[in-house]
Amino acid sequence: MANKLIEDRYIDYEKYIRAIDPSIPHSFLQQIIDHIVVNDGRVTSITFKNGATHTFTYKT
């Protein structure tokens, strides 16, 4: 999967994900994501294995 992400040509990721074994993206995500925080059904942050955290804010 990582090879597909770094190729130069256009990739239809939705089609690609639907065509491969579900364990492949699952394994890939487990390798890069440390944890995800969800509040009230919304993702509020994703922390990656490298320590970087992406925080989401939502308009109310």
Q: What is the mean pLDDT of residues 24-41?
A: 93
Residue 6 is predicted with a pLDDT of 67
Backbone angles phi, psi at 14, to 5 degrees: -65, -45
Domain ranges of the chain: 2-55
Q: Which pTM was predicted?
A: 0.67
pLDDT in tens, 1-16: 566 666 667 778 888 8
**Neighbouring C-alpha atoms within 13 Å toward the C-beta of 22:** 0
* 38: β partners: 43
Rounded CA-CA distance 58/23 in Å is 31
